[in-house]
């Protein structure tokens, strides 16, 4: 990210949220400019932070202002595979070895690396173990429990859970509209029926003064004993369309609000400080760069609090089964995308069990997700790096995900090289239609007409990026994210792919058409029946003539005449030797 400006260098206290937003603005501008510059299509952007993530158990995050950047750029990685590398340098080391270690990290083949004590660490999820231990149960019943976003689905659910299951007796429920919010009366009635005293407050938690005023009204005979911050909003879009305004609107209820809660309660004897984060920040869910940025800040804040001896738990929730303002905005394409990652919806009762386990668990950050291990196992090396080891595929030939994609792309190019122009166009049209159908959730390519526009077919900016990534993997090309807008029908896009592939082939040279014809001939020869000696002899004779012609042209250029000895060798070659020689020319 370059040198730090004075605002970042002094980021602390009330000024930290502004510094964090400034870093995110710079990061967004940088990655958007990089990805939009087609001259850099073959390049990678390396972003180096220092102390922006907690990479070891109990480790602090000294540069909280840079923490959200990791969430933002994880999404950039998901939307643009193999284009961005994230490295967090060792905050405890500032030596001349740092540059070498960063270079080693960049060339490690990993997309996200933290350097600690000279080691290169990569993030992954691990199942909790019994040996990890648990902390004491929070004293939910020892005073007032503050819940933000309390009139939303998730806030109301945890409020009822704390009263019904943990004996919380006094709740301070915060939301933008307080007691006037839809559903507030019913929530109050239900909680009072369970025996709780309920206070609502209309408060923008991201406004430090408003929150301070609300906290001053907490009764002295029921002091604040716990905080649960569930508030959040969504405004999904791909990174290329994300503006600073849309970024700030989503991170404000996360970064500003959580920091205000931390600062204004840090001197109080809280027994729990729980932040509702999201798996989107850990996996870099495509289309949610702003949301991921806010949530990775929450994860870092929880680690910072624990390192400071304060309670802190960030629960990175997966998909909820119960509809909320967060999950309710997901489209069918979004749900399919999450299902392909191996994420299944969490039932509410299971979610609350995971909430309880996270709060007493030893980790500052816990991912509360329902995984489809069969999906992960089928995907093998293609599964998300954070998840793939949770359900390893059966042992097989060791080929990495990138190698598999490269092999597939090479196979396609070789297949296309053996086809004529019309056959190649048809094959690429089928490729586009098959991949488009997969993105849209159709069972076959018949639902994708070649001449219908992608917009009519149901594509938006996020599904357009997903199709681009699939075509990149299939062809080995580096295509822009605006692909389906630049070439608005499957037929037009297939034509563009043909042009791009041809431009990168040997057909760009004078020998290209001849070599392409030879590639087609090779395919035909391989299809010959092994026992058809008459046909093989006839083909071998033709090959002798072609080779004599090629060698004659070569020696004419070099010496002005052919070499009789070479011709004699060629004439005396057996059919098997000629076929072997043809293979060597491939």
**Tens digit of pLDDT for each residue in 67-82?**
999 999 999 999 999 9
DSSP characters over 38-63: GGGTT--EEEEEES-S--STT---S-
Task: Give the burial class of 102: count Cβ atoms within 10 A of its Cβ; 0-12 exposed, 13-18 middle, 19 or more buried.
Answer: buried
Residue pair 22/36 in contact by the 8 Å Cβ criterion: no
Q: At what angle do helices 490-503 and 421-440 cross, to 10 degrees?
A: 120
Q: Which of 116-125, 133-142, 158-167, 424-433 has the lowest mean pLDDT?
A: 133-142
Is 557 a residue whose pLDDT tops 50?
Answer: no
* pLDDT of res. 432: 94
Q: Between residues 279 and 537, which one has the greater pLDDT?
A: 279
List the one residue out of 35, 39, 41, 104 whose CA is nearest residue 75. 35
β-bridge partners, 235: none
Mean pLDDT of 495-520: 67
Given a cut of 70, is residue 355 above it in pLDDT?
yes
Stated length of the chain: 586
Instruction: State pTM to two decimals.
Output: 0.81
Using 50, 70 and 90 to split pLDDT, how confident is the model at 237? very high
- Mean pLDDT for the stretch of residues 441-446: 89
**pLDDT for the residue numbered 388:** 87
Share of the chain above pLDDT 70, in %: 82
Whether residue 28 contacts residue 85, with contact meaning beta carbons closer than 8 Å, is answered with no
Identify the pLDDT of residue 516: 57
Return d(Cα 330, Cα 279) in angstroms, integer: 15
Best-predicted range by mean pLDDT (108-122, 369-383, 404-418): 108-122
Mean pLDDT within 382-407:
69
Residue 211 has pLDDT above 70, yes or no: yes
Greater confidence, 127 or 527?
A: 127
Per-residue confidence (pLDDT) for residue 560, from 0 to 100: 46
Q: What is the pLDDT of residue 574?
A: 54
User: What is the pLDDT, as a whole number, of residue 297?
Assistant: 98
- Residue 107: closest CA among 85, 137, 130, 77: 85
Give the lowest-confidence range in 34-38, 249-253, 305-309, 544-548. 544-548
* Cβ contact 364:313 at 8 Å: yes
**Does residue 569 have a pLDDT over 80?**
no
C-beta neighbour count of 358 within 10 angstroms: 21
Please tell me which residue, 333 or 267, carries the higher pLDDT value: 267
d(CA 437, CA 454): 11
**Given this model, what pLDDT does residue 530 score?**
60
Asked if 242 and 290 count as a contact pair (C-beta separation under 8 A), the reply is yes
Q: What is the pLDDT of residue 502?
A: 78
pLDDT of residue 158: 98
**pLDDT for residue 524:** 66
Who wins on pLDDT, 503 or 107?
Answer: 107
pLDDT tens digits for 146-155?
Answer: 999 999 999 9
Taking a C-beta distance cutoff of 8 angstroms, is the pair 323, 285 a contact?
Answer: no
What's the pLDDT at 404? 54
Q: How many CA atoms lie within 13 A of 207 on its CB side?
A: 10
Q: Is the pLDDT of residue 252 over 80?
A: yes
The angle that helices 512-526 and 575-584 make with each other, rounded to 10 degrees, is: 130
pLDDT at 10: 40
Residue 316, beta-bridge partner list:
277, 367
Cα radius of gyration rounded to whole Å, the chain: 30
| Distance in angstroms (rounded) separating the CA atoms of residues 459 and 440 | 8
If one compares 20 and 575, the residue with the highest pLDDT of the two is: 20
Token pair recorded at residue 331: 């489209």
Average pLDDT (50-77) is: 97
**310 pLDDT exceeds 80?**
yes
DSSP state of 477: -
How wide is the angle at C-alpha 210 spanned by C-alphas 204 and 212, nearest 5°? 125
Cβ neighbours for 475, distance < 8 A, ≥ 6 positions apart: 409, 412, 413, 431, 497, 500, 501
**pLDDT value, residue 567:** 46
Contact 206, 257 (CB under 8 A): yes
* Exposed / middle / buried, residue 261 (Cβ in 10 Å: 0-12, 13-18, 19+): buried
**Which pLDDT band, with edges at 50, 70 and 90, does 12 fall under?**
low
CB 53 within 8 A of CB 87: no
Pick the more confident residue, 530 or 424: 424
- Angstrom distance (rounded) from CA 367 to CA 314: 8
Between CA 76 and CA 85, with CA 82 as vertex, the angle to 5 degrees is 65
Instruction: Give the mean model confidence (pLDDT) for residues 493-498.
Output: 92
- Strand pairing class (224-229; 272-278): parallel
**Residues 291, 317 contacting (CB under 8 angstroms):** no
DSSP state of 83: S
Determine the average pLDDT of the residues in 374-386.
88
How do residues 220-231 score in pLDDT, each as one tens digit?
Answer: 999 999 999 999
Per DSSP, helices labelled H in 389-460 are 401-417, 421-440, 454-457
Structure token digits, residue 420:
């004529």
Per-residue pLDDT band for 402 (boundaries 50, 70, 90) equals low
Mean pLDDT of the region 414-419: 78
Concatenate the DSSP letters of all residues of 187-243 into one string. Answer: HHHHHHHTT-EEEEEE--TTSHHHHHHHHHTS-TTS-EEEEEE-------B-GGG--
Q: What is the mean pLDDT of the chain?
A: 86
Report the share of the chain in percent with pLDDT over 90. 62
More confident residue, 583 or 213: 213
Strongest mean pLDDT among 39-43, 112-116, 551-555: 112-116
Q: Using 50, 70 and 90 to split pLDDT, how confident is the model at 391?
A: confident
Mean pLDDT, to the nearest integer, of 335-344? 85
Residue 320 DSSP one-character state: B
């Amino acid at each position: 990210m370059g040198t730090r400006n004075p605002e970042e260098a002094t980021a602390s206290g009330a000024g930290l949220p502004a510094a964090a937003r400034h870093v995110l603005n710079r990061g967004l501008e940088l990655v958007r400019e990089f990805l939009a510059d087609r001259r850099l299509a073959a390049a990678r952007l390396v972003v180096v932070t220092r102390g922006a993530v907690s990479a070891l158990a109990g480790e602090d995050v000294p540069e909280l202002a840079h923490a959200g950047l990791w969430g933002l750029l994880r999404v950039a990685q998901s939307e643009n595979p193999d284009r961005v590398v994230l490295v967090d340098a060792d905050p405890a080391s500032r030596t001349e070895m740092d540059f070498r270690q960063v270079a080693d990290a960049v060339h490690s083949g990993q997309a996200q690396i933290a350097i600690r004590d000279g080691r290169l660490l990569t993030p992954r999820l691990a199942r909790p173990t019994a040996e990890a231990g648990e902390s004491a149960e929070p004293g939910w019943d020892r005073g007032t429990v503050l819940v933000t976003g309390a009139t939303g689905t998730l806030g109301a659910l945890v409020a009822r859970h704390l009263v019904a299951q943990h004996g919380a007796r006094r709740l301070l429920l915060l939301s933008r509209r307080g007691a006037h919010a839809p559903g507030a009366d019913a929530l109050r009635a239900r909680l009072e029926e369970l025996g709780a005293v309920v206070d609502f407050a209309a408060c923008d938690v991201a406004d430090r003064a408003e929150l301070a005023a609300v906290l001053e009204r907490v009764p002295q005979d029921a002091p604040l004993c716990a905080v649960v911050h569930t508030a959040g909003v969504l405004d999904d879009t791909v990174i290329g369309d994300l503006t600073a305004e849309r970024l700030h609107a989503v991170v404000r209820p996360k970064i500003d609000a959580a920091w205000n809660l931390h600062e204004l309660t840090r001197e109080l004897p809280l027994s729990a400080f729980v932040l509702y984060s999201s798996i989107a920040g850990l996996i870099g869910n495509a289309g949610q760069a702003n949301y991921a940025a806010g949530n990775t800040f929450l994860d870092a804040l929880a680690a910072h609090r624990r390192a400071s001896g304060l309670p802190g738990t960030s629960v990175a929730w997966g998909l909820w089964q119960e509809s909320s303002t967060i999950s309710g905005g997901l489209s069918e394409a979004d749900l399919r995308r999450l299902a392909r990652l191996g994420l299944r919806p969490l039932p509410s009762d299971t979610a609350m069990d995971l909430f309880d386990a996270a709060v007493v668990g030893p980790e500052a950050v816990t991912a509360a997700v329902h995984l489809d291990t069969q999906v992960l196992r089928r995907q093998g090396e293609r599964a998300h790096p954070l998840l793939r080891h949770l359900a390893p595929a059966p042992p097989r030939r060791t080929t990495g995900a990138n190698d598999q994609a490269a092999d597939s792309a090479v196979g396609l190019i070789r297949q296309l090289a053996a086809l004529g122009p019309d056959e190649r166009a048809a094959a690429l049209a089928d490729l586009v239609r098959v991949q488009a159908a997969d993105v849209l959730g159709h069972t076959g390519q018949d639902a994708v007409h070649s001449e219908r526009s992608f917009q009519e077919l149901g594509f938006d900016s996020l599904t357009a990026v997903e199709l681009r990534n699939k075509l990149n993997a299939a062809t080995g090309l580096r295509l822009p994210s605006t692909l389906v807008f630049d070439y608005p029908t499957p037929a037009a896009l297939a034509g563009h792919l043909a042009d791009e592939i041809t431009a990168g082939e040997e057909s760009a040279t004078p020998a290209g058409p001849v070599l392409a014809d030879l590639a087609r001939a090779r395919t035909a020869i391989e299809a010959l029946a092994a026992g058809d000696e008459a046909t093989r002899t006839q083909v071998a004779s033709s090959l002798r003539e072609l080779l004599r012609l090629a060698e004659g042209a070569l020696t004419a250029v070099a010496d002005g005449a052919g070499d009789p000895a070479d011709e004699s060798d060629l004439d005396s070659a057996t059919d098997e030797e000629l076929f072997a020689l043809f293979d060597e020319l491939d």
